[in-house]
Amino acid sequence: MNTPATEVDIDDDLVDRLIRAQHPDLAGPLILVANGWDNVIYRLGTELSVRLPRRQVAVDLIVNEQRWLPVLAAHVDVALPVPIRAGEPGEGYPWPWTIAPWFEGRTVADVPPSERSGIAVPLAEFMTDFHRPAPPDAPHNPVRGVPLAARDEAVRQRLQLISRSTELLPLWEELAALRPWQGPALWLHGDPHPGNLLLDGDGLLAVLDFGDLTSGDPATDLAAAWLVFDENAREVFRSHVDADEVTWERARGWALALGTALAAYSADNPSMAAVGNHVLDQVLLT
């Protein structure tokens, strides 16, 4: 399965008109850098980015980023794409959009898993700082932070599209049956895959894409142990996060859930398909 079809046409001319109409002081050269599942991202000049929803389902997500990232950035040492300006519908474009900083670097997805160990401690520290109790009005996300059992139907459907389902289904059934999170709802990034982590040299420069921002079970984010790392780096990461055995196993379950989505739905995105295959290899190891 491929990336969902866009629901609105977005091109250089539209984005330029939106900026000149609403934020003319920031107008400059535009370069298309990503056309993802939910958003189109442009580089604006040398220091800014423009993020525009390409589907209705992503509109609330970008509003959540505008509302909460300025608050959350104060609690972490890693850079976040805190909005600089909020754009409004206009020029034929129907939804809110964001101008944010541009971070110069490369994503962890561009680095072989065997070379990612240097960010195991910084990523663990980011999650420790980020996973703090969330207020009652934190964004709700029905597919992140929830009990694993709530994802059972979706994971089973995806496993039917994956060749290793014979190995993975019994593991999923075991992990989905684990005791749910008993603690307070914590802030969650919600989508901690390598494409959302940015490197400056060998260090962790920024954590990107908070479209899945929500609250709930921290195991959702701790799935990065399998999404990002190999077995050795995973142990380093684990030694720097506060997770009991059941939470750690639920994190493995979340890695399996997220990995099936990446493996099943990234036919037109080789980088994300590779991440999905990596995850499924890793969850079968431990």
Q: Write the pLDDT tens digit of every residue in 263-274.
A: 998 888 888 899
Which CATH code for domain 12-101? 3.30.200.20
Q: Which two tokens stand for residue 183?
A: 């603690």
Query: What topology does CATH give the domain 106-285?
Result: Aminoglycoside 3'-phosphotransferase; Chain: A, domain 2 (3.90.1200)
List the one residue out of 72, 77, 19, 5 whose CA is nearest residue 48.
Answer: 19
The pTM assigned to this predicted structure is 0.94
Write the pLDDT tens digit of every residue in 87-135: 999 999 999 999 999 999 999 999 999 999 999 999 999 999 999 999 9
Render pLDDT for 159-205 as a digit per residue (tens, 0 to 9): 999 988 899 999 999 999 999 999 999 999 999 999 999 999 879 99
pLDDT higher than threshold 80 for residue 212: yes
| CA distance linking residue 42 with residue 247, whole number of Å | 38
| Structure tokens given for 33 | 């850098």
DSSP 161-178: TSTTHHHHHHHHHHHHTS
Percent of the chain with pLDDT over 70: 99
Structure-token pair, residue 105: 């670097």
Q: pLDDT by residue (tens digit) across 60-100? A: 999 999 999 999 999 999 999 999 999 999 999 999 999 99
230 contacts 114 by C-beta, under 8 angstroms = yes
pLDDT tens-place string over residues 48-58: 999 999 999 99
| Band (36; pLDDT cuts 50, 70, 90) | confident
pLDDT of residue 232: 96
Tokens of 126: 């980011």
Q: Which helix (H) or strand (E) holds 254?
A: helix 245-264
Between CA 286 and CA 282 the distance in angstroms is 7
When pLDDT is cut at 50, 70 and 90, the band that residue 2 belongs to is: low
Q: What is residue 101's predicted lDDT score, i.e. its pLDDT?
A: 97
Domain extent listing, the chain: 12-101, 106-285
**Neighbouring C-beta atoms of residue 230, cutoff 10 Å:** 18
| pLDDT, averaged across the chain | 95
Pick 14 or 268 by higher pLDDT.
14
Residue 157 CA: distances (Å) to CA of 48, 80, 260, 276? 39, 34, 9, 16
